[in-house]
Amino acid sequence: MKTKLTKLKLITQELIKNRIKSSADLSSFKRKIAKNLNIPFPSNIKLLEAYHNLPKNERLKLDKNLEFLLRKRKVRSLSGIVNVSVLTKPYPCPGKCIYCPSQKGIPKSYVSGEPAVERAKRLNYSPYLQVKKRIEALKNAGHPTDKIELRIIGGTWSYYPHYYQNWFVKRCFQACNKSDRSKIFNSQLPIFNKFSIFNFQTLEKEQKKNEKAKHRIIGLSIETRPDFINEKEIKRLRKLGATRVELGVQSIYDDILKLSKRGHKVEATIKATKLLKNAGFKVSYQVMPNLPGSNFKRDVNMFKELFSNPDFQPDYLKIYPLALVKSAPLYKWYKQGKYKPYSKEQLIKLLIEIKKQISYYCRIQRIIRDIPAGKIIEGGAKISNLREIVQKEMKKQGLKCKCIRCREIKENYDAKEKIYLFRQDYDASKGKEIFLSYENKNRTKLYSLLRLRVSFGESFISVLKNAAIIREIHTYGQSVPIAKKQKAPQHKGLGRKLMKEAEIIVYTEFSQSAKREFGLNKIAVISGIGVREYYRKLGYRLKDTYMIKTLNKKRLP
């Protein structure tokens, strides 16, 4: 009698031979083969594992469509990259927000039960092991792991000791730089050790390695408060390799911020947004409807203002309707009848109104926290699949969200479909933003985008003076390994075309204008560490953490 492993190998070989084309065909085949071989219904993960154990000459025969069908949670790599979230150790928070949960042994604002929290706790908050294990899990599920968007989460990042920040980021890079065959090792740094010495050169060394590593960090984001962003902090973030900052904005109304004991005014958000954009960062807002002092109408108007007032205009948005937990001070107000959360119906209606306001250049990353509602949440946002419910309701009403996430091409790539170059200009934070994108004719399928900024003023970062800056370039669809070509938008030259268009715009519209008011003669890119090689091929050179190119007629496309 053949072993179970041998049977799985046989099934995998039969799958390759039969050229399965759809999920329905795959399920039908698995039922049939399981019955014939008298084994339990085989999981996709087990079949993927059996495939990876096949000899290389047999694996070459694999239909890439089949590998995609076997992949677990396909959405994790359908935006062109894979996300890896890493949680920091618990550390005192400078805020006293009344809605914020606080649990012993967990960074403030996070709670037990959240997937990222549980992973971090099991690994003793080791950044190295969190990254390493997450990459292994994604790879075992069939996802490409060569393009990683690293997201550092936890408390207020800017409040953590600098030596801990440096060490933490270095360990993340080391986890990506080590080969899959290398032995996993771990070392910890006491967060309260004031005498720890960190040599910044060790981080730079790991960053340099990552430019050509197997798992490249193509973007790095951190979470912080608006009132902790200043010129000095931004320069530090660039040395760490950060490219995106998530600001805990929560509200843009001072009275609500005061009532919630947020500790800063809206002025801090406006200032932080401008500084970050002028330095090339992508800016994400975390916004919280249903705060004390607000109401349905004010919440709707708040999101309208986010995209009509030039002082805001976030590139990314996380909508976190208030989730009431017992460990938050607000819970006492709730028990005393001083605060009432929205009902399920009100919340769905509100989110539909919000999604109607979103501009083409913004991506809604989340619309609810990943908190286990049944055990922890006492009131407010309890619906775990809230995004799905809102999308279904909008479809019933004939409404469509224009945000980037709702328009990403994902797995719907058609090589024969004609795509068009779109351009949208808008004023933001005393500068001009130019949003370029390749989309289908009616703008329902987004293939690739580029964010170009002209700041119209002296930059506090010397290398950015007299330069326009590309804050983001991204091609969506199934993530394709570097230097490989598959049936997907990536590696089809869309990014190069957008870069050429941006260079032409800067040179012709700003450098060569009759007024020549701002004298732009170069273009900069806030590049993730793992993407530097890509920009070098386009004629850019590394200067003070940015990729720079001088513009002239000879160098224009």
Q: Where are the domains of the chain?
A: 4-70, 74-224, 245-406, 420-555
- Give residue 9's pLDDT: 66
Alpha-carbon distance values, 337 to 55, 288, 334 (Å):
66, 20, 5
Amino acid at 481: P
What is the token pair recorded at 89? 């150790």
276: exposed, middle or buried (Cβ count in 10 Å: 0-12, 13-18, 19+): buried
Question: How many Cβ atoms sit within 10 Å of the Cβ of residue 228?
Answer: 17
- Give residue 195's pLDDT: 43
What average pLDDT values come out for the chain (557 residues) when binned by 10 residues?
56 66 70 68 67 59 61 66 94 90 86 87 95 91 89 94 94 86 54 55 92 96 97 97 98 97 97 98 97 96 97 96 84 89 91 95 88 61 80 94 93 85 97 96 95 88 94 84 59 88 89 56 94 96 96 68
- Give residue 517's pLDDT: 46
DSSP state of 81: S
**d(Cα 98, Cα 285) in Å, to the nearest integer?**
19
**d(Cα 465, Cα 468) in Å, to the nearest integer?**
9
Return the closest-CA partner of residue 284 out of 369, 169, 363, 367: 363
CATH number of 245-406: 3.30.750.200
**d(Cα 480, Cα 485) in Å, to the nearest integer?**
7
Q: How far is CA 355 from the centre of its chain?
A: 19
DSSP state of 343: P
**d(Cα 101, Cα 328) in Å, to the nearest integer?**
4
Is 204 strand, coil or helix? helix
On whether the CB atoms of residues 231 and 160 are closer than 8 A, the answer is no
541-543: strand order across its sheet: 420-428, 431-439, 446-454, 467-475, 522-525, 546-550, 541-543
**d(Cα 47, Cα 67) in Å, to the nearest integer?**
10
**d(Cα 214, Cα 139) in Å, to the nearest integer?**
12
Residue labelled with tokens 């590309």: 470
H/E element holding 550? Answer: strand 546-550
First to last CA, the chain: 65
- Give residue 181's pLDDT: 47
What is the token pair recorded at 247? 């600001």
Q: What are residue 489's phi and psi, to 5 degrees?
A: -65, -25
Alpha-carbon distance values, 427 to 323, 433, 521 (Å):
34, 6, 21
Return the closest-CA partner of residue 434 out of 446, 417, 449, 414: 449
**d(Cα 133, Cα 172) in Å, to the nearest integer?**
11
On whether the CB atoms of residues 236 and 228 are closer than 8 A, the answer is no
- Give residue 202's pLDDT: 87
- Give residue 69's pLDDT: 67
Return the closest-CA partner of residue 316 out of 385, 221, 241, 382: 221
Q: Any alpha helices (H) in 195-343, and if so which ranges?
A: 200-210, 231-240, 254-259, 266-278, 296-306, 330-335
25: exposed, middle or buried (Cβ count in 10 Å: 0-12, 13-18, 19+): middle
- Give residue 193's pLDDT: 56
Domain formed by 420-555, architecture: 3-Layer(aba) Sandwich (3.40)
Cα atoms in the Cβ-side hemisphere of radius 13 Å centred on 184: 14
What is the token pair recorded at 116? 């990222």
Q: Which residues contact 12 (CB under 8 A, 6 or more apart)?
A: 47, 50, 51, 54
